[in-house]
């Protein structure tokens, strides 16, 4: 059938979609450039971003994790405060809103009921909303005032991969253009940096044998696994843990490195895999301290670091990219490691039990 053709020679959609990420980066750069090769989004959107005194990002699952990364860009580059909320909690736990809020919904499918419920609610209150989605004409796109598209192509595998990196890339462009509209000068060229990310992603996708070996080494028989990181690496760890749970059924959790000692470290046993991300210079010492703490209690640490921050004990070194954009590359090994862990454990990679690609009930 048609879906077989689309998968081509790939054994699973998930692997195909992981491999498409460098291409999606290039597509996004193209789609969001004007004739002068400058980054460009619809002016009504940059205007709305500039007029807002606070941005409220609302999303579920992987899209929520992309929102956490996007918050960093918008706050750091465009200097607008951002809150990120899980959609299902928002409606009955609504934060005290600022005077001029702008709502940003992130949804691959544009159909998630939990997110839509919040959109309906904030529209009723008279607020403006922007939807970032992969599906033109989807419900969340139609019902919001503005839309930004991911241009990632259809995502079939239940576990989201290329939509996550596309969401982060589009959020980076949204933040950069907002910064410009607000008169804040960025110290780097985002187009160039995203192109470097695309090449780095390609190198990672070409290194599947190493990813398979890491999965075999750390995850083929374990009951659980932890992902730790500080700063933005913490958010990438949350996504890494979600990928692993979704498709391999290994109980996996992401933790902030500094928070470990306040409880979670009690779970560390002999050989517990702890995947530690070290892509941020300002927290490199801190996360390495956390690795020592868990190793001293018997854990089996797997450090994934960024070139320039690496030490001899690291299991994998990522090609260097702009530090703020590191989630775009750091997540690729985590996606691939989850994929191979699921394969080794004979799980149905594309259609994990109990999960749906798009959840249209609240």
| Residue 279 contacts ligand G6P per CB under 6 A | no
Phi-psi region of 147 (alpha: psi -120 to 50; beta: other; left: phi over 0): beta
Please say which residue, 20 or 314, places its beta carbon nearer to ligand G6P.
20
Tell which one of 109, 165, 178, 280 touches ligand G6P (CB under 6 A). Answer: 109
As measured in angstroms, the least distance from the Cβ of 218 to ligand G6P is: 23
- Which among 184-192, 272-280, 325-333, 354-362 is the span making contact with ligand G6P, rule CB under 6 A? 354-362
- Does position 61 interact with ligand G6P (CB under 6 A)? The reply is yes
Q: Is 357 a catalytic residue?
A: yes
Q: How many angstroms separate the Cα of 113 from the Cα of each of 30, 86, 139, 259?
A: 31, 12, 10, 33
Distance CA 25, CA 162 (A): 9
CB 242 → ligand G6P: shortest distance, Å?
8
DSSP code, position 99: S
Please give the radius of gyration of the chain, using alpha carbons only, rounded to the nearest integer: 20
Of the pair 77, 103, the CB lying nearest ligand G6P is at 103
- Judged by beta carbon, residue 270 or residue 354, the one nearer ligand G6P is 354
Neighbours of 100 (CB within 10 A): 12
276 with 291: CB under 8 angstroms? Answer: yes
How many residues of this chain interact with ligand G6P, rule: CB under 6 A?
Answer: 15
Write the interaction track for ligand G6P spanning residues 41-60; mark x where CB under 6 A is met and - where it is not: -------------------x
Q: Which stretch binds ligand G6P (CB under 6 A): 9-17, 108-116, 227-235, 334-342?
A: 108-116
Asked if residues 318 and 205 have their Cβ atoms less than 8 Å apart, the reply is no
Q: Can you tell me which of 21, 46, 88, 108 binds ligand G6P, judged by CB under 6 A?
A: 108
Residue whose C-alpha is closest to residue 341's, from 330, 352, 329, 355: 352
For 287, the 3-state DSSP assignment is: helix
Give the nearest residue (CB) to ligand G6P.
61
Residue 107 interacts with ligand G6P (CB under 6 A): yes or no: yes
CA atoms within 13 A on the CB side of 50: 16
Q: Which of 115, 178, 290, 305 binds ligand G6P (CB under 6 A)?
A: 115
How far apart, in whole angstroms, are the C-alpha atoms of residue 316 and residue 302?
Answer: 8
3-state secondary structure 202-242: HHHHCCHHHHHHHHHHHHCCCCEEEEEECCHHHHHHHHHHH
Binding of ligand G6P by 62 (CB under 6 A) = yes
Q: CB-based burial of residue 50 (10 Å sphere; 0-12 exposed, 13-18 middle, 19+ buried)? A: middle
Choosing from 266, 355, 360, 362, the residue that interacts with ligand G6P (CB under 6 A) is 355
Residues 35 and 240: their CA atoms lie apart, in Å, by 37
Find the shortest distance in angstroms from Cβ 25 to ligand G6P: 19
* Nearer of residues 158 and 200 to ligand G6P, judged by Cβ: 158
Query: Whole-angstrom distance between the N-terminal and C-terminal Cα of the chain?
Result: 32
Given the complex with ligand G6P, which of 203 and 356 has the nearer CB atom? 356
Q: State which of residues 12, 18, 19, 63 lies at the interface with ligand G6P (CB under 6 A).
A: 63
User: Of 158, 200, 260, 277, which lies in the binding site for ligand G6P, with binding defined by CB under 6 A?
Assistant: 158
- Give catalytic residue positions: 357
Q: Which residues bind ligand G6P (CB under 6 A)?
A: 60-63, 107-109, 112, 115, 158, 160, 355, 357-359
């Amino acid at each position: 059938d048609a879906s077989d053709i689309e998968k081509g020679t790939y054994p699973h959609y998930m692997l195909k979609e992981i491999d498409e990420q460098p291409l999606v980066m290039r597509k996004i750069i193209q789609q969001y450039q004007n004739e002068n090769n400058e980054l460009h989004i619809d002016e009504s959107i940059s205007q709305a971003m500039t007029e807002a005194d606070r941005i409220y990002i609302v999303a579920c699952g992987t899209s929520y994790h992309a929102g956490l990364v996007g918050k960093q860009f918008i706050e750091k580059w465009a200097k607008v405060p951002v809150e990120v909320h899980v959609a299902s909690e928002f409606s009955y736990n609504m934060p005290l809103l600022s005077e001029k809020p702008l709502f940003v919904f992130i949804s691959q499918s544009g159909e998630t009921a939990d997110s839509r419920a919040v959109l309906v609610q904030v529209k009723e209150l008279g607020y403006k909303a922007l939807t970032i989605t992969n599906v033109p004409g989807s419900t969340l796109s139609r019902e919001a005032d503005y839309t930004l598209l991911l241009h990632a192509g259809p995502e079939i595998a239940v576990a989201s991969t290329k939509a996550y990196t596309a969401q982060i890339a589009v959020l980076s462009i949204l933040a950069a253009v907002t910064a410009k509209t607000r008169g804040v000068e960025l110290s780097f060229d985002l187009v160039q940096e995203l192109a470097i990310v695309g090449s780095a992603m390609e190198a990672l996708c070409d290194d599947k044998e190493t990813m398979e070996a890491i999965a075999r080494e750390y995850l083929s028989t374990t009951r659980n696994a932890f992902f730790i990181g500080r700063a933005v690496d913490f958010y990438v760890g949350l996504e890494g843990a979600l990928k692993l749970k979704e498709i391999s059924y290994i109980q996996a959790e992401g933790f902030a490195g500094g928070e470990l000692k306040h409880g979670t470290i009690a779970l560390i046993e002999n050989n517990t895999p702890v995947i530690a991300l070290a892509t941020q210079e300002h927290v490199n010492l801190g996360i390495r301290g956390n690795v020592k703490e868990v190793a001293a209690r018997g854990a089996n640490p797997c450090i994934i670091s960024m070139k320039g921050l690496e030490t001899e004990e690291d299991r994998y070194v990522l090609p260097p990219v702009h530090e703020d954009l590191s989630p775009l590359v750091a997540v690729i090994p985590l996606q691939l490691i989850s994929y191979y862990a699921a394969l080794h454990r004979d799980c149905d990679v594309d259609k994990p039990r109990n999960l749906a690609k798009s959840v249209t009930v609240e």
